[in-house]
Structure 1
């Protein structure tokens, strides 16, 4: 599960980082705001990727997905991209759990 979830968050961090210049040049968002918000989202993806060994990191990943979708209020394309990554996140968790079932005594 962690490998798939890590891949989703790693690619999402790239997309979120590339959304910064789009927000500045196309949507005329203040550079400082776009840099801080986009940068924090991208870095949080990488931090959560490193912390996926903890069970609470799954919930942090869901918060990142919600924040990426909410970024659509500034960059309308992020509604689609955020929803796509949220679907990939759900799929990675679902497929990862079915591929690596946890025994009942370890749950």
Structure 2
């Protein structure tokens, strides 16, 4: 699960940075504010890569997905990108857990006693 989720979060890292570039074009938004918010969100997405397997890591990832969707208020295309990344996040968590279960089952079978 960690690899799939981390890949999604790194993709979001770059999307957040590009959204910051788009948001800078809005005359109503201060450049410093845009980059402070984007910098914090980019840091969170990178930091979550390291804590994704710890308790609450997936929940924090979901919180980031909600924030990405909500950022569509300032950069409208983020509504679409946020929903797309939320779907990819769901798939990463869902299928990542299935892969982890399959790996654990395979490891248990190969480490078991030999009956041959």
State the TM-score, normalizing by the size of structure 1: 0.89
Runs of 4+ in 1 over 2 A off after TM superposition: none
Give the Å deviation of 1:37: 1.0
Q: How much has 1:60 moved relative to structure 2?
A: 0.4
Deviations 1:34-77 (A, max 9, x none): 11111111110001111113021110000000000000000000
Q: Which residue of 2 aligns with 1:49?
A: 49
- Computed over aligned residues only, the root mean square deviation of the Cα atoms, in angstroms, reads 1.3
Cα distance in 1, alignment partners of residues 72 and 59 from structure 2: 21
Corresponding residue number in structure 1 for 2:4 = 4
Secondary structure of the 1:100 match is helix
How many residue pairs match? The answer is 102
The residue that corresponds to 1:70 in the other structure is: 70
CA distance in 2, matches of 1:53, 1:91: 16
Aligned twin of 2:30 = 30
Of the two, which has the highest radius of gyration? 2
Unaligned runs of 5+ in 1: none
Matched, 1:21 2:21: yes
The farther-off stretch of 60-69 and 33-42 is: 33-42
Per-residue deviation at 1:21?
1.3
Given the two structures, how large is their TM-score scaled by the length of structure 2?
0.83
Cα deviation code 1:8-47 (max 9, x no counterpart): 001101110111111012x232101111111111110001
